[in-house]
Structure 1
């Protein structure tokens, strides 16, 4: 016991001070005197009391910060809604939380059916790494859903409306995102119609392993209305999607880390995505996402991932989608630095999946 230890050490006097704040007590601090040491003076007791108060404040701040990060991660997960059930395509999504609480931020994915029956895909990242970033992510996500749902407008028009709404009705900081419409074949090929507001480009992977970053549609980040006044804009981009191809949307934590520049991360993603696509066979797009994350383990930052796989030519419904399983992060290691959002890089368009890993 506390008293037995005091006697065992030969203590003859002790100063006992609480470790507490106004609302909560975390324990006590005991400082004993033994041998010929004199008893504590009033000044020493006052100093120990001040130390106890400061330690209590540190412990309370740590508790509050931990609770805030738990709220942020819970908010993110609640907003990552189940994927819609869509004929002809298979979909999968993953959210990989940051191992470090300081890195929990504003990454999100979204997929929903518009009023005209077309499927919308979104991947985005609000600037910041805290509860406020998660709250702003919720704002931007819900604004985009509301603006896009019943307006049969080009993605570029939706982006203008979203930018105006964020600028004039929200205190959300800048955000990067890709907003896309996946338009059904109706006797022709599947097509992607999208814009990119400063986000890493979508990756298109064919069934034989060829990969290509869709670099079109680039414009300024959301929340940079001043850039629009300078003549920058979001050009609409269109792309035909080959049968059995995979469209991959992701956030920058998948390709960027403190010890790996983004160009190398983009090359690594292309390489492994191509290899996995060639070997996919009868396995699902869920398997593709899981194996991709296992090969490219996020290194500290949170990651959102959204993948869509098209059916073979002439094939009907490929089955319904299901909500993504809870994400795990057993491979997260060091927290990366985040490059300036929206920086655009040039990347080779085709990879040979037989080549070695760019990092090996």
Structure 2
């Protein structure tokens, strides 16, 4: 590569220079799973200008639709003018280099863009692009993964700076790396969305439980793009009481979400059929889980809210290694319900489990939640529990739905884990939350 282009960047004639450029691009694409893949492609475009080209354009293919996601040029004003073109036309019958590459052709070089006269609406858009970006030589390479063309990378140099064979080989390598990053990001997003949909499909309808105010929220992790096995449940039992459940299956993938669904259905059947109190149901679930499933470790709280008495509604619960429920009185006083604690599910099929019991007075609220609400990386869990008590106490008199929404907002610092919350309030059946 012995060309001399105007305002040229670093000389890439040596192997070490090309390796450095590939390393830079690999860094730019490395976050395509944690961040948006399109943002990663924009970062790649910015690193290629001016090191490798005077301009770089990235297009993605959605069916027959072309989306232009990035235009970078030495002169930012030219890039802005190029992006102002508006929506891209479809492939249609265009025969320009971009259309040919998007249909599956290999790298295509256009030595004299000013003479380009290919028919088709996309060809017309490209001719305007070449004029705006002062194109002297154009190299279009596919973004390809697993024999599928996902988009194209268009590299442009000013007049007098042609692309040599080594340039074309390097550009083709960049296109393969970018295509693989796009494909991996799409597959990861599909898996994550599938897991989220599975989780949400298993979340119960909290209506239809007369005389009881319930509200719940589920928020997927926002950091690390992970999906876990958090779940909550509430259902009526034959004796008229209500079973309340919150749990967390270890893991952060589709498998965890599937296992969560298995446990949720098993627990419902065991609780409904056995008539056991929470500790008995938890023991049954632990034995069945270890004997019939591949689920390894689970934390959970099972609570049973009984019919009203003169002083309120009795609540019994048992805890398998889960964060303790929180009781909030109408005046804002809070109390962690730390009794009834026993090992997590999956360690010992026959641990001693007991029920704890309180009476939930009228107007009081009980909150079940998963650890994503209180845990922060590098922070002692005690600080998270204190923070929860402070905010929950301040919101204790809020309507129940507003309580859940406000609590998530106040404790939100960019979720590092999924968050599930289930809140119940003991009020008159005719009073609305």
Specify the TM-score bucket, using the shorter chain as the normaliser: 0.7 to 0.9
Contact 1:248 1:305 in 2 (8 A): yes
Question: Any stretches of 5+ residues in structure 1 without a counterpart?
Answer: 322-360
CA-to-aligned-CA distance 1:119-174 (integer Å, 9 cap, x gap): 00001111122222222211111111111112111322211221122222222231
Contact 2:228/2:251 (<8 A) preserved: yes
Query: How many residue pairs are counted as aligned between the two chains?
Result: 307
Match of 1:308 in 2: 424
1:157–1:23 Cα change, 3 Å: farther
Q: Aligned residue for 1:332?
A: none
User: Hey, what does 1:17 align to over in structure 2?
Assistant: 141
The answer (yes or no) to whether the contact 2:311–2:361 under 8 Å persists in 1 is no
Residue 23 (structure 1) shift: 5.1
**Residues in 1 aligned to 2:307 and 2:413: alpha-carbon distance in whole angstroms:** 33
Q: Is the 8 A contact 1:97 1:303 kept in 2?
A: yes
Deviation per CA, 1:216-267, whole angstroms, max 9, x where unpaired? 1111112223xx56xx432222222223211111111111123643211211
Equivalences for 1:173-188 in 2 at 5 Å? 173-185=296-308
Larger gyration radius, structure 1 or structure 2: 2
Residue in 1 aligned with 2:407? 292
Instruction: Supply the distance in 2 between the matched residues of 1:268 and 1:10 (Cα, whole angstroms).
Output: 59
Q: CA deviation at 1:104?
A: 2.6
Match of 2:429 among 286, 296, 317: 317
> Which of the pair has the greater relative contact order for Cα pairs under 8 Å at 6+ separation?
1
**C-alpha separation between the residues in 2 aligned to 1:82 and 1:298?**
28
* Distance (whole Å) between structure 2 residues aligned to residue 23 and residue 136 of structure 1: 34
3-state DSSP class of the match of 1:258?
coil
Partner of 1:255: 374
In 2, the alpha carbon distance for the partners of 1:214 and 1:79 equals 27
Please say if residues 249 and 299 of structure 2, whose CA atoms lie closer than 8 Å, have aligned partners that are also in contact: yes
Tell me which of 213, 216, 239 is aligned to 1:90: 213
TM-align CA RMSD: 2.7
| Range moving further from structure 2, 204-213 or 97-106 | 97-106
- 1:97/1:81 Cα in 2 relative to 1: closer, same or farther (>3 Å)? same
Q: 1:23 to 1:72 in 2, by over 3 A?
A: farther
Instruction: Give distance in 2, aligned partners of 1:187 and 1:36.
Output: 92
Cα gap change, 1:248 to 1:92, in 2 (>3 Å) = same
Conservation of the 8 A alpha-carbon contact between 1:194 and 1:238: yes
1:66 and 2:66 equivalent?
Answer: no
Q: Are the structure 2 counterparts of residues 31 and 310 from structure 1 closer, same or farther at C-alpha, using a change threshold of 3 Å?
A: closer
- Residue 294 of structure 2 aligns to a residue whose secondary structure is coil
Compute the displacement of 1:36 (Å). 5.8
Aligned positions of 1:18-33 closer than 5 A: 18-22=142-146, 24-31=148-155
Q: Give the SS at the match of 1:267.
A: helix
Distance 1:90 1:21, change over 3 A: same
Given that 1:209 and 1:275 are in contact with CA atoms closer than 8 Å, whether structure 2 keeps it comes out as yes
Contact 2:303 2:317 in 1 (8 A): yes
Which residue, 266, 269, 274 being the options, matches 2:385? 266
After the TM superposition, which residues 34-113 of structure 1 pair with which residues of structure 2 at under 5 Å, given as runs? 40-41=164-165, 45-100=168-223, 102-113=225-236
Checking the alignment, whether the CA contact within 8 Å between 2:136 and 2:161 is kept in structure 1 is no
What's 1:134 paired with?
Answer: 257
Partner of 2:239: 116
Tell me, in whole angstroms, the C-alpha distance in 2 between the residues paired with 1:10 and 1:47.
Answer: 20
Partners of 1:274 and 1:47 lie apart in 2 by 61
Q: Report the Cα distance in structure 2 between the residues aligned to 1:207 and 1:154, rounded to whole angstroms.
A: 28
Partner of 1:240: 359
Structure 1 residues 114 and 23: alpha-carbon distance in aligned structure 2, compared to 1, 3 A threshold: farther
TM-score by length of 1: 0.76
Residue aligned with 1:221, SS: coil
Structure 1 distance, partners of 2:129, 2:429, is: 73
Q: Within the alignment, does 1:146 sit opposite 2:269 as a pair? A: yes
Q: Distance in 2 between matches of 1:145 and 1:137?
A: 12
SS at match of 2:208: coil
SS in 2 for 1:117: coil
